[in-house]
Amino acid sequence: MATERRYGLGYALLPKKQQSFIQDSLVRLCKQRGIDLVRIDTDRPLVEQGPFDCVVHKLYGDDWKQQLEDFQRRNPNAVVVDSPSSIERLHNRISMLQVVSELKIESGADSFGIPKQIVIYDKETLFDPQAWEFLKYPVIAKPLIADGSAKSHKMALVFNHEGLNKLKPPIVLQEFVNHGGVIFKVYVVGDYVKCVKRKSLPDVPEEKLKSLEGALSFSQVSNLNERNNDDDKFYESTELEDTELPPQSFITALAKGLRTAMNLNLFNFDVIRDSRIGNRYLVIDINYFPGYAKMPGYETVLTDFFWDVASRKGRELVGETTRQDLSVSEDGVRKIVTNSCHSNGNEHEKSAILQV
């Protein structure tokens, strides 16, 4: 009687990510499907471990990138999910959204894009009204670097000039678009796409803006449990049940376009519906290897993906090689910022703002 083929899948995750993702339920289901999940010891060279049919990771740095390259040279049939060079694109909040502006997909009656935004590198530019006059208050201030650290999640909704005082460049100023207080989180796992609803920052009517001062600090747009009690009056009740999800065909096409363009298989992106134009959607953030445990039925979805990758050895997988270099050039960042300016009919541009 032939022995069933088993697959080794090595995972390299930080402790917090490992604790949330490697649940007993996932380990059991993988084992039933013939997949053995093995923790990679980051204190030992990767090439000395295994054998692995697939390596899944969320670690960064030149040393780790070199280890993955060495591992793939030694194990050419193994699949690495995903390429560090592709992941690095998401560490910059300007370059991460550039790909959205360049997508060409059939979206029917629905349209998509990104909010107008600009990167600010110094206080002088921050307080120069002409430097970003194409943006109007309120604006969202986000750290330029998006590396998953607590610091990278510290944001602020700025209502007026006074609110700029607490901001520390380099930051990205992004147009705040009223979106009904609901954000759509789209989880992508290979070909699988799941869209869920979460509460978000409430709308700020123009007449209400006049009575708001300074800035409102928050962590993640879709995580409002960390807010201060003093801010409770600002957050109005949002009925998620009454909010209609975007058309599944549209979201699937957008997810597929992003997956192909970015050469990534494990990510999610945040989408809002522009209250001014009911069928226009804006992508405001993209994250690599998000908190999948929050996604309903994540164990089955990830197990199916792991099995497909390991058994087919990545033949239908995008971004399986670590040798791809998809880093964004300065011209690419310049292009997206300039396009944001032009979309508002303003071609003002300061070279100091556009450097990377």
The answer to the question of whether 175 is labelled as a binding residue is: yes
The answer to the question of whether 278 is labelled as a binding residue is: no
The answer to the question of whether 100 is labelled as a binding residue is: no
The answer to the question of whether 28 is labelled as a binding residue is: no
Q: Within 13 Å of residue 337, how many CA atoms lie on the same side as its CB?
A: 25
Distance between CA 53 and CA 83 in Å, rounded?
A: 16
The answer to the question of whether 136 is labelled as a binding residue is: no
The answer to the question of whether 38 is labelled as a binding residue is: no
The answer to the question of whether 142 is labelled as a binding residue is: yes
The answer to the question of whether 200 is labelled as a binding residue is: yes
The answer to the question of whether 184 is labelled as a binding residue is: yes
The answer to the question of whether 345 is labelled as a binding residue is: no
The answer to the question of whether 58 is labelled as a binding residue is: yes
The answer to the question of whether 21 is labelled as a binding residue is: no
Please, are residues 240 and 200 in contact by the beta-carbon 8 Å criterion? Answer: no
The answer to the question of whether 182 is labelled as a binding residue is: yes
The answer to the question of whether 334 is labelled as a binding residue is: no
The answer to the question of whether 193 is labelled as a binding residue is: no
Tabulate helix, strand, coil % of the chain (nearest 5): 35, 20, 45
The answer to the question of whether 185 is labelled as a binding residue is: yes
Element (H, E) at 17: helix 15-21
The answer to the question of whether 62 is labelled as a binding residue is: no
Strands (DSSP E) found in the chain: 7-12, 35-39, 54-57, 79-81, 111-113, 117-120, 139-143, 155-158, 171-175, 182-189, 192-199, 215-218, 266-273, 280-288
The answer to the question of whether 153 is labelled as a binding residue is: yes
The answer to the question of whether 177 is labelled as a binding residue is: yes
The answer to the question of whether 335 is labelled as a binding residue is: no
The answer to the question of whether 71 is labelled as a binding residue is: no
The answer to the question of whether 314 is labelled as a binding residue is: no
Please, are residues 38 and 52 in contact by the beta-carbon 8 Å criterion? Answer: yes
- Which residues contact residue 312 at a Cβ distance below 8 angstroms, ignoring those fewer than 6 apart? none
Binding residue numbers for ATP: 93, 142, 174-185, 200
Residues at the binding site for 1D-myo-inositol 1,3,4-trisphosphate are 17, 58, 153, 185, 287, 291
- Residues forming the annotated binding site for Mg(2+)? 270, 285, 287
Q: From the annotation, which residues make up the binding site?
A: 17, 58, 93, 142, 153, 174-185, 200, 270, 285, 287, 291
